[in-house]
């Protein structure tokens, strides 16, 4: 069994600070998956472990689809490990869209892959984009679960913030559970520091 926390820490991808997340919430920790996936060998190792879990479930996947930008590396490696096709969605004027000539056939079995699933908002938007074209979303996957959604094989229930549909399996290698705060309730803000977007200060 892979130790995901150790892999993130070893890669310098488990950051401590005062972060503004894409959801608008604040957190003391941030997982910078790009730092883990900058090593293709590590990316391959993680994707193979995830593919094994999915294959054991018996769910067949034609295509892996990731929301840009965060999910692309993880999704591409997972598609390779599954022997599946890979496509990605991207936002056009805030709407998650399939571009670049990517097509989806009616009934095509699609897995939506992210690097990390927090509430699953972007993953769900990507799912809607491929479903609108007739694709069938049969699973979700991420390298790690931030602890809001219920992953396969875990006895921890989903929290109300989780946006993934409960009737579609979600595969992840491990859970990371650290607190996120509404800005008005953030203890780091109360101590006087300012939240910043990960990546904006060289991380």
Return residues touching Zn ion (CB under 5 A): 26, 186, 188-189, 195
Q: How far is the CB of 119 from Zn ion (least distance, A)?
A: 18
Question: What string of DSSP letters covers 93-124?
Answer: TTEEEE-TT----TT-EEEEEEEEESS-HHHH
Could you count the other beta carbons within 10 Å of the beta carbon of residue 167?
5
**Using CA atoms, how far apart are residues 33 and 20, in angstroms rounded to an integer?**
16
β-pair type (85-92, 95-98): antiparallel
Q: How far is the CB of 17 from Zn ion (least distance, A)?
A: 10
β-pair type (95-98, 109-117): unpaired
Could you count the other beta carbons within 10 Å of the beta carbon of residue 177?
9
For Zn ion, which residue has the nearest CB?
186
The residue (of 26 and 150) whose beta carbon lies closer to Zn ion is 26
Q: How far is the CB of 23 from Zn ion (least distance, A)?
A: 13
14-20 β-sheet, strand order = 14-20, 26-31, 180-181
Q: How far is the CB of 146 from Zn ion (least distance, A)?
A: 17
Q: How far is the CB of 78 from Zn ion (least distance, A)?
A: 33
Query: Tell me, what DSSP letter sits at residue 139?
Result: E
Helix 40-57 to helix 72-82 angle (10° resolution) is: 60
């Amino acid at each position: 069994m892979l130790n995901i926390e150790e892999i993130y820490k070893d890669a310098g991808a488990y950051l401590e600070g005062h972060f503004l997340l894409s959801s608008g919430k604040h957190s003391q920790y941030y997982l910078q998956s790009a730092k883990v996936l900058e090593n293709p060998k590590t990316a391959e190792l993680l994707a193979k472990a995830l593919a094994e879990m999915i294959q054991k479930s018996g769910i067949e996947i034609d295509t892996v689809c990731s929301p840009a930008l965060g999910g692309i590396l993880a999704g591409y490696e997972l598609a390779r490990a599954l022997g599946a096709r890979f496509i990605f969605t991207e936002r056009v004027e805030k709407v998650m869209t399939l571009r670049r000539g990517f097509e989806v056939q009616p009934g095509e079995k699609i897995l939506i892959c992210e690097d990390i699933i927090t509430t699953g908002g972007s993953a769900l938007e990507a799912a809607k984009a491929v479903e609108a074209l007739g694709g069938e979303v049969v699973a979700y996957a991420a390298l790690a679960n931030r602890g809001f959604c219920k992953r396969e094989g875990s006895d921890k229930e989903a929290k109300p913030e989780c946006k993934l549909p409960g009737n579609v399996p979600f595969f992840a290698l491990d859970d990371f559970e650290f607190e996120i705060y509404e800005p008005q309730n953030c203890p780091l803000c109360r101590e006087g520091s300012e939240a910043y977007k990960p990546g904006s200060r060289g991380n």
